Structure 1
Amino acid sequence: MFTATHLLRRRRFLPLFVTQLFNAFNDNLYKTTMVLFVVYAVYNDETTESSFSSLASALFILPFFILSALAGQLADMRDKAKIIRTVKMCEIGLMMIGAAGLYMAWRGIMVHTVAIPLLLLALFLTGVQSTFLGPIKYAILPQHLKKDEVLAGTGLVEAGTYIAILMGTILAGPLAVDYTGWAAMGIIVVSCIGYMISRQIPPAPPLGEIEKLDWHVLRASVKLVRDTMHNAEVYYAILAISFFWTIGAVLFIQFPPLAKNTIMASPEVASLFLVVFSIGVAIGSVAVNALLKGKVSARYSPASVIVMGLFVVAFYVVAKLWEADQPADLLDVGEFIAWPMASLLMLCLLGISVAGGMFVVPLYAFLTTRVSPDKASRTIAANNIVNSGAMVGGSLLAMALSAVGVPITEQILLCAAMCLFSAWLAKRLIAAENEAAEIAAGAI
């Protein structure tokens, strides 16, 4: 805890932390406002709503799959701080596109022909932005922090990201339908503030030999993943993270239509679901750092993801019981909290996210501490390629299940099954971790 507090007082960490916080806040304010507005104010069919939510998730994730190899090369071959500032400047323009789409949809101007395509275009560009920032936000940490500070810094970045998601989600609920114009203006203002803060990040020049960039994204992606996966610890960490985010993608896709059609709740309650999820991941991120005392290890990951799966099953059971005794009209936040089993439903959701945070945070630290510093960004980029492929697959699976009529509540059980496989991957990571420690001890 002292290390974390100490880092927040240092320029080598604080501007990066705040820049990432504003970036996550703005992305989530835009994405959540857009999805909630379309689900609650445009469409009136559970299958269509779920399909739109899946499409939105897939469009945001797709750039990670296509461009992560290039992003990783740039981050390792160029000054990371300069890349952050360039990307943050571009964010101002893409948020103007998103703001135009939000305003037109809010005013009912060419909603289906122009406004929604603009919203989806801006969402795709937001994914492009996050693709180029993704390898940097973790890979820059070993460059600016001491070795025993990296896990604390990783936990703070992860916790700060989810606090920012929390704040963006809290605002998105009430803004989503009645005050969407304010959201449109807000995302532009926040992007400008984020750019100004990014100018304070200290230089982070490339550490290794400058290589020629490979602009052939498919070839570069295949080579990057292949070159990264030879390290067993990194290999299993990437696979485990990928399954975690696939679970998260499916859950986030289903939250808005689940809240509207099963829980019979207002946009503010759908926003509350995402808030609780974000709080839980932040709590789990900080808690596992305290348990590990700064040491990078996956020892708590298998138990954490098993507990996560149990809470997913509990969430499913409560949702089925709720479905059997639905309210007649949409509930606001106060009515939802007063409804029987509401506290139990939110407790299950909190349990899912706390356990998830404890599972995934140490795995990210593996990616930056088990490779040489000059390859850290490319390792994160390889992780993003595999993660995004798995998440796009999860989004398409959710769309297919909805299209063939599988109820949203039943789809939640898919996440529980995936938790079991994630636990197996975490066990394999621990075995690789122990083997690497034995080899290192024998070499001394």
Structure 2
Amino acid sequence: MEGTPHKTLKAFAWALVAGLLVFSGWPMARALAEGGGRAEVQAVRYSRGPRYARIVVELSRQVEFQVRELPADPKAGRSPRIFVDLTPAVRGPNVPAQIEGSGKLITRLRVGQFKPETARMVVDLKERTSYRTITLHDPFRIVLDVEIEKSAAAPAAAGEADESGSEDDPIAGILGGLVPKPRAPKAAPKPQSKPLIVIDAGHGGKDPGAVSKRKNYEKDIVLPVARKLAHLLKREGHRVMLTRDQDVFLELSERTQKANEIIADAGLFVSVHVNASPNSKAHGIETYYWNVKVDQSKASTIARENFTNLESVFKQSSGDLAAILSDLKYKDKERQSAALAGHLQRNMISSVSGKWKGVRDIGVQHGPLYVLALTNMPAALVELGFITNATEEKRLFSAAYQQRLAEGLKTGIEAYLKETGR
């Protein structure tokens, strides 16, 4: 979004994972929350794929948290565990003390009160994993991603002992840190198999996305374009997956999970959106790739696509984040994503500017967009135009214009794949 000053962006950082657990009843937790100003753990959500699991912990407000890992102890019959400490916080009445896991990764999740001011979650694992965490805002959430490691240890024996949460807990001796463990290398796709192209139609269902003065919705533009793009790519023999092909709502975490579940052969991720501005004259096409640094003039676009407000957009508060991203090989992903974004932008502009006059090339931008940060492959987010501009709104709802945009995106994707030898 253009032309308006913006507030300072909020913090975004990776962290290590962890914590230990004891059980206590929710009535005491509610009393503590009401009487001592402690945050309440309001929900714990768990989803999984064949090699991937995501846990989202939602709280009533922002809290400090520590994350640590305890390795397997075969002699004691204990599997690997991941622990998360939340301070000051208590488990809310709607959060079960135990959630059964499923799949190859997680045996169960347990949530309880370690100390009067500290809630604790433990994730019992079936084998060694790689993992990372990220925080989101409005509401405050801690997202824990867990993935199978290639060098995984054998799964723990059945019947592992419960954790007491006592003060001499062995986890206390393990030092925390700011940098998560490097993720294990992923298997390369089979040479004869084309890389999978993941197309993400933004928003959907209860989330309309950007809304025009005429009460037209972003979600009603991006899904047809995504479908047209998928059809064009499939016609050329490409393998394609849509994160959604109906008017349904998906959490941002669900979108990235769908892509990351098939990371072994996923080639790239393209998220399709349209823009908005309080300035009805604002118009043009732009494409984003991941970078922690933010152009303040783009803050509201980034906030909107992250489903949050300006105060909740990620901010690089120190040099630590850049080092972390470097350690996680995000620099290489950033380079590839920038190349992808460039191909998409150039070919969208080329595809529509010959027939429609006044198409503005805003160019390639960067910022800390959630779907770009948490995808494990080159990723770009395209803004097809401004729904708040009357001329572009009319074009964006035109089937012919949508088709030309899809053709430009298809050409851009193929140019990127050719350039990278995929």
TM-score by length of 2: 0.24
Bigger Rg, which one: 2
TM-score by length of 1: 0.23
Say which structure, 1 or 2, has more relative contact order (CA 8 Å, 6+ apart): 1
Flag the structure with higher helix content. Answer: 1
